[in-house]
């Protein structure tokens, strides 16, 4: 469910909103096509796909024909009820306040306006939702103070598999295989007498001397 679907409240578009582009003439003269477009957007939402994408929309689909025959056979009342059902579905999708009787009444007596508002409501809400997602994706993580050239590790590009960063590189310092320790008068723990060899890592002074080379 998208962020806009979890919102409630009223409609974001008015019933008398003329819409955008060809919304008004399409709803007045080719209402079946406007209804089909809105139906396609609702199906896209159910499939968790982009409802703003009409690349797969076909003008003469089953929803368009259903609307057309209901408009002809029902003397404009049948298609008005069909539009009211679509309005109810949009209200349920976006948790918009209202009731089914009001949806049907506006679908019958203000059918072109209802068709425009239904489609425009989806477009407006999903456009805002997509803009919020793009804005969140473009945000940078907090930058440490004094680190103007800071880039998070996961954002560092790699072109040839794993590459060591400078701060991850270990100096090639020779390690002494062993150093003779002082002999203990009582011998070592194993019972032996005299001196023994203990493996040791290079000292800090030896590391600094190696770096100066």
Tens of pLDDT, residues 69-104:
988 887 789 999 999 999 999 999 999 999 999 999
To the nearest 10 degrees (0 to 180), the angle between helices 100-109 and 77-94 is: 140
| Cβ atoms within 10 Å, residue 151 | 12
* Domain locations along the chain: 4-137, 171-213
Within 10 Å of residue 118's Cβ, how many Cβ atoms? 27
User: Would you state the torsion angle of the CA atoms of residues 43, 46, 49, 54, taken in this order, to the nearest 10 degrees?
Assistant: 10
Residue with tokens 């819409």: 19
* Per-residue pLDDT tens listing for the chain (213 residues): 444 454 568 999 999 988 888 999 999 999 999 999 999 999 999 999 999 999 888 888 888 899 989 888 877 899 999 999 999 999 999 999 999 999 999 999 999 999 999 999 999 998 876 666 655 555 555 666 655 665 555 545 555 555 555 554 455 555 555 444 444 555 555 455 554 554 456 677 777 787 777
What's the rounded Cα separation, in Å, for the pair 7 and 145? 37
Contacts of 70 (CB under 8 A, 6+ apart): 78, 79, 81, 82
Give the global pTM.
0.58
């Amino acid at each position: 469910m998208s962020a806009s679907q979890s919102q409630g409240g009223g409609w974001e578009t008015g019933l008398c909103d003329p819409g955008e582009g060809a919304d008004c003439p399409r709803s007045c003269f080719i209402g079946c096509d406007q209804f089909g477009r809105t139906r396609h957007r609702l199906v896209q939402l159910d499939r968790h796909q982009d409802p703003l994408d009409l690349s797969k929309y076909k003008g003469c689909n089953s929803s368009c024909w259903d609307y057309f025959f209901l408009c002809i056979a029902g003397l404009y009342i049948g298609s008005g009820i069909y539009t009211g059902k679509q309005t109810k579905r949009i209200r349920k999708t976006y948790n918009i306040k209202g009731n089914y009787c009001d949806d049907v009444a506006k679908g019958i007596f203000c059918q072109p306006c209802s068709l425009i508002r239904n489609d425009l409501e989806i477009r407006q809400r999903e456009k805002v939702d997509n803009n919020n997602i793009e804005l969140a994706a473009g945000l940078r993580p907090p930058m440490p103070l004094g680190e103007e050239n800071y880039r998070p590790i996961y954002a560092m590009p790699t072109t040839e598999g794993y590459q060591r960063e400078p701060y991850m590189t270990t100096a090639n310092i020779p390690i002494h295989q062993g150093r003779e320790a002082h002999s203990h008068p009582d011998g070592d723990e194993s019972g032996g007498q005299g001196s023994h060899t203990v493996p040791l890592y290079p000292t800090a002074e030896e590391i600094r001397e190696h770096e100066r080379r």
